[in-house]
Structure 1
């Protein structure tokens, strides 16, 4: 409404008065908080100024000590640098070998082992301040050995003779490293011909045996030729014209030999000789009724690495026929198993200890006897709990004759081989007795597949061996390798000269084959595994 031409007073809109009150309240609250912030800021500035003044006073008070603090810091830095340089100097080693410089690290030298000459440099008494070591040795061989320590692989250049490298490795104490790297773990399917060593003795070889360290020995007549793992011939063992019947390794340092008794002299029997010097170490004796007897010792068998017994077939002048057992710790006779009717133990061709049966397998084979006999001897009960014979089965020369036998590693069966190179298996879990077990051979048909014929010229009898689950057989001039539970033919080892193989042996991750005609033995090795 209009009132006398003056502006009328308007009433506030609904809610406007309440909003104005809230706005006034917020304005006052903001002003209060601003004043509070300004007061706090003024107080903080005052405190900061105070702390700044106190800090300046401390700096002025510590100013005289500044040179000393700087000197201490510099000393610590120099010490850290010195320690770092000392550690680097100690880790790096320099050699002057025959005028050629080599640089390596203490980590590489540690691979040589503490017992080696190079490993001895890491001893506490070693002076790390020495700039380099001078060695008046062959630098080419040192380079090969240093690379062996770095990589674990052995690479021999064509211009480095192996015998020279072995000599240098012996000087540095690395001969075991070289041997372990030269060939790999034994595998019959990956063997390669590594070397052929001509013999020096006239006539045919009697036996060849592998040493645990990769060496071997060869028996010729009354002499045993011994070779180390580098195939260097050591001093031979001579028995003064006594015929060697069998030979074996007790360990890498000791060789046991069985020999024929000499007429008119109470000699023969069995003795242990040093593999390094050929010297007699111990002579085993047989006693009957507490009286020592002269005897001829034949086939040998060691009970095993964890068993200190040794067995040998024995033939005396009277009734001392059987199998003797001796203790390797005392060297004394521990037991004697006398022959029983129907089993010729004194003429046994093969002895083999079966740990799973706790019995000794004895095999007397053709042509030593007319009939083959295989039995298990229990020395505790003095009984033969199991036996097999071909008596009454073999009639003519064309019939299959067992010429060699070996117990399989599982201890459940015995593998045999005949003149046709047929493999046969006799189950030890089958019935016992010569009459009932005589027909228990399960022959394979391998001879028909190979189409082999009996040679008209003189040849060596076949031999068998087992190693790491594989079966090996040799006949004429080759060695066959069988693998798997079904004994499948997987490899054949042969060479073009040397004649028939009269014996072979496996040990030290090597296979040694002794040839009949050229008086030579072959060395077969497994190539080292490839790096990639």
Structure 2
């Protein structure tokens, strides 16, 4: 900070604020406006004053007071005369939105989650997919449209997919969404595109080619993104089906794979990139049997698969599958809602089922159980609740349960931005679960 004194004065539209924490502001708010003010590299000059440095800021003084107090105490105390929307806009201007979010809810703790909001949809029984954004907002697919909510749960302009049904939603960042849709043969359209989360504008429509011909319209199914800027999507047209790979930076297709050394890439239901293995996890169903392939794109090789030929019947009970690369395991859930596990390092193996099988099949009117793995814990939806599991002496045990507020059974759920979003069947209601912030002592 050079020779700059630690005591500074702010003149915010004529209202004077003094603080003796300039060094703290610059250190803890490096990416904010305060970091620029007190970093000598920016050479930002204060307004001349007789006794001390004074910075003039032409913004709302009441919001400034709240934010300055937040930086000093870690607590967010908003007076009744300060509208929350105005405060958030001011926090965005100063580069302090992350501080405000952390003050509103704590770091994600699945065993302390509390139902914070319930948001009603518009069209009943027409919604299947919900996807959490990196900053705590979400996107919900309603047939041929996607409704986007920011972290304040304010709805942005609707993304209209020209009456094509949405298959999957992914987030490049908080401002850009990737959406896959089914092909409409009569219209000759379908595929995958990048949209602005704030305006709903289509920024880019991806093209698909098999290396020879460009496919004008295709169905894009499940997708995933990796940390190296690649987008993977299950794609098919009238002649072929496989996995397409695109580069986020150039928005160009860089590969397409129809098969991998005997692997099955038909009817794919989930794909996920595994960073440590540098492989793509593929889960699908063929001939009423679930199958898992682990694909290495570097040498076009299938490095792991399940089931083996001697145990195909086990896979017919599987309803969802999730890889847990951190512990070299794969979790499956059956039609009883029971968890089972496979060792990623093993071959020719059977599922090791949890011992607490209830013996009761999920009701026929229910949605299939779904799995998520987050922060070393498993989440499994069943009927109208989500159970949270942790590994205890090689046995996964339930540590908490999230019950629905209203709106029917759980269709889908997603975790991101330190929130859990649960999409319910009736009227497309979704619940928002947050970890309460710790009390300020």
Asked whether the equivalents of residues 206 and 220 of structure 1 are also in contact (C-alpha less than 8 Å), the reply is yes
Q: Which residue of 2 aligns with 1:356?
A: 276
Separation in 2 of the partners of 1:384 and 1:390? 14
Q: Secondary structure at the match of 2:70?
A: helix
| Cα distance change of structure 1 residues 108 and 155 upon mapping to structure 2, 3 Å threshold | farther
Structure (1 or 2) with the greater helix fraction: 1
Q: Secondary structure at the match of 1:261?
A: strand
- Does residue 444 in structure 1 map to residue 362 in structure 2? no
Give the deviation of 1:215 after TM superposition: 1.3
- Does residue 345 in structure 1 map to residue 265 in structure 2? yes
Q: Deviations over 1:217-249 (max 9, x none)?
A: 111111111111111111121110011111100
Q: Which residue of 2 aligns with 1:402?
A: 318
Asked whether the equivalents of residues 205 and 221 of structure 1 are also in contact (C-alpha less than 8 Å), the reply is yes
2:362 to 440, 449, 454: 454
Q: Which residue of 2 aligns with 1:371?
A: 289
- Does residue 513 in structure 1 map to residue 422 in structure 2? yes
Q: Deviations over 1:286-343 (max 9, x none)?
A: 212421013211010112x2x122111111111x211111222222222222146975
| Cα distance change of structure 1 residues 224 and 109 upon mapping to structure 2, 3 Å threshold | farther
Asked whether the equivalents of residues 217 and 224 of structure 1 are also in contact (C-alpha less than 8 Å), the reply is yes
Which sections of structure 1, spanning at least 5 residues, go unmatched? 1-86
- Does residue 301 in structure 1 map to residue 215 in structure 2? no
Q: Secondary structure at the match of 2:101?
A: helix
Q: Which residue of 1 aligns with 2:398?
A: 489
Q: Which residue of 2 aligns with 1:330?
A: 250
Separation in 1 of the partners of 2:278 and 2:24? 45
Q: Secondary structure at the match of 1:146?
A: helix
Asked whether the equivalents of residues 207 and 503 of structure 1 are also in contact (C-alpha less than 8 Å), the reply is yes
Q: Which residue of 1 aligns with 2:163?
A: 241
Give the deviation of 1:390 after TM superposition: 8.3
Separation in 2 of the partners of 1:453 and 1:146? 55
Asked whether the equivalents of residues 362 and 374 of structure 1 are also in contact (C-alpha less than 8 Å), the reply is yes
1:111 to 18, 25, 32: 25
Q: Which residue of 2 aligns with 1:387?
A: 305
State the TM-score, normalized to the length of structure 1. Answer: 0.72
Separation in 1 of the partners of 2:421 and 2:86? 24
After superposition, residues 221-232 of structure 1 pair within 5 angstroms as 221-232=143-154
Structure (1 or 2) with the greater strand fraction: 2
Separation in 1 of the partners of 2:181 and 2:57? 53
Farther off after superposition, 272-281 or 497-506? 272-281
Separation in 1 of the partners of 2:161 and 2:67? 40
Give the deviation of 1:285 after TM superposition: 1.7
Q: Which residue of 1 aligns with 2:77?
A: 155
1:502 to 385, 406, 411: 411
Q: Which residue of 1 aligns with 2:96?
A: 174
Separation in 1 of the partners of 2:94 and 2:211? 55
- Does residue 419 in structure 1 map to residue 328 in structure 2? no
Separation in 1 of the partners of 2:417 and 2:55? 39
| Cα distance change of structure 1 residues 92 and 377 upon mapping to structure 2, 3 Å threshold | closer
Asked whether the equivalents of residues 170 and 223 of structure 2 are also in contact (C-alpha less than 8 Å), the reply is yes
Q: Which residue of 1 aligns with 2:8?
A: 91
* Structure having the higher Rg: 1
Separation in 2 of the partners of 1:119 and 1:341? 54
| Cα distance change of structure 1 residues 259 and 134 upon mapping to structure 2, 3 Å threshold | closer
Give the deviation of 1:520 after TM superposition: 1.3
Q: Deviations over 1:95-138 (max 9, x none)?
A: 577xxx66432536972858766777764232334999797847
Farther off after superposition, 104-113 or 230-239? 104-113
After superposition, residues 27-38 of structure 1 pair within 5 angstroms as none
Over aligned residues, Cα RMSD in angstroms?
Answer: 3.2
Q: Secondary structure at the match of 1:166?
A: helix
Q: Deviations over 1:382-405 (max 9, x none)?
A: 332321138886879xx9710100
Q: Deviations over 1:489-518 (max 9, x none)?
A: 111111341211111111111111111113
Q: How many pairs are equivalent?
A: 426
1:473 to 369, 372, 380: 380
Q: Which residue of 2 aligns with 1:463?
A: 370
The structure whose RCO (Cα within 8 Å, separation 6+) is larger is 2
